[in-house]
Amino acid sequence: MSSLVLLRREMVAFGRRMRERNLIVAAEGNLSVRLGGHFFLVTPSGVPKDRLRVQDMVEVDHRGRTPRGRPTSEWPMHGLIYDLRSDVGAVCHAHPPWATAVAVAGRELDGSLLTETAGELPRVPLAVRARPGTDELAASIAVAIRDHDAILLGSHGVVALGKDLDQAFDRMETVERLAQVTLLSELAAGRSDLDPDELIRLCRGGR
């Protein structure tokens, strides 16, 4: 079995997982994996992620050219990420409710709030609001994406990056948990930030 077929199957599996974990509804969200050269494999436009088939995935280059199929309208964002980050092998974009609520409120997330995120995602910045599926959306993340592995999209959702789909998906779920804990802690009794010395120790030592 070819590596391309395996990648397509993996994307089908992660698309279903996105729906099962309540990160998206209907035909929301998209996934991609880097191929050779300027090409990447991306989910199609308008297909619910729990109904994806192996043959639905679309090969596209960073200019939107494709031999067949109709890629997600947000392919420019994926293409820009691959152009700017040679270390990134996969991208996950979703609309998880807690993190999207933070984005709608015009806030970013402080990863130092939790020991689990202090080293991996110390800050999740907020990109300015932009219309989905446009070059404007891609441009809105151009600065932040160089130094961050997850970004909140203004009034939209989250984009998470990784060396593969496993890591990108894990980071998406981590951002959602961080957003949930952030908002619930503020409702409960206010947040309690980590001591700076403790934060440094955690970042150096990992988990």
- Give the residue numbers annotated as catalytic, written as ranges: 74
3-state secondary structure of 179: helix
Q: Give the whole-angstrom CA distance, residue 24 versus residue 20.
A: 9
In eight-state DSSP terms, residue 159 is E
192: closest CA among 81, 113, 127, 133? 113
Q: Give the whole-angstrom CA distance, residue 119 versus residue 36.
A: 31
- In contact, 74 and 132? CB cutoff 8 Å: yes
Q: Which residues are registered as beta bridge partners of 93?
A: 30, 159
